[in-house]
Amino acid sequence: MSIVTDMPILARHSGVWDGYYRYYDKQGNKIDEHRSRLLCRFRSDDEYHQTNYYYWQDGKKEVRDFPTGYDPQKKHILFTGTIEGWAAELMLDEHARTVMLYWVRPAEGIHLYEMIQISDCGHKRNRVWHWFRNDELFQRTLIDERKVADEWRDFEHSAELAYKDIAQS
């Protein structure tokens, strides 16, 4: 078995996604926003790898890389490195749209829960992050994304997003 056959919902996420991240404090006030391009790829039967490119309106850019391992017994991927945690399909979702994640940023002393819903057409997805520090929610992130390409290899070494004003997106 492989990730692609064991995790068909996650397999639908393979490709290049452009999106928009919005961060809110626990009172609901927007505290940050930026554009993104994510490369979501399966490099082999047991390796999912994600690279995130972030772009702020003021010109700031950041790249975060997330290699994973795979646990075929539990049928979930494992994150190690910058973040530690797992991603698994929500088997109770009879519509086969939901992936759940739990991850920790050990250096920052925080943990997050993430829920991802992919559309039936596979070209739109929405994500919600709940951030916790000392067992208290302190922040939420809302992410809206559209798939711009199924084939990530064309973008792997040139993922630079043609930046547009955030307000126009």
Hey, what domains does the chain have and what are their CATH numbers?
Answer: 3-149 (2.40.128.20)
Residues β-bridged to residue 19: 36, 145
Which residue, chain included where needed, has tokens 């992919």? 118
Dist CA 169 CA 166 (whole Å)? 5
* pLDDT at residue 12, as a whole number: 95
Q: Within 10 A of 28 (CB to CB), how many other CB atoms are there?
A: 7
What is the arithmetic mean of pLDDT over 131-151? 96
Inform me whether the pLDDT recorded for 74 exceeds 70: yes
User: What is the CA angle 64-66-71, rounded to 5?
Assistant: 170
* pLDDT at residue 77, as a whole number: 94
Inform me whether the pLDDT recorded for 45 exceeds 80: no
Inform me whether the pLDDT recorded for 169 exceeds 60: no
What is the arithmetic mean of pLDDT over 121-145? 97
Inform me whether the pLDDT recorded for 39 exceeds 90: yes
Among 119, 122, 126, 84, which Cα is nearest to 101's?
84
Considering only 31-35, 52-56, 79-83, which range has the smallest mean pLDDT?
Answer: 79-83
* pLDDT at residue 84, as a whole number: 92
Which residue, chain included where needed, has tokens 């070494």? 157
Residue 167 confidence class, pLDDT cut points 50, 70, 90 = very low
pTM (whole model) above 0.85: yes
* pLDDT at residue 168, as a whole number: 46
What's the whole-number average pLDDT of the chain?
A: 90
Inform me whether the pLDDT recorded for 11 exceeds 50: yes
Q: Within 10 A of 153 (CB to CB), how many other CB atoms are there?
A: 10
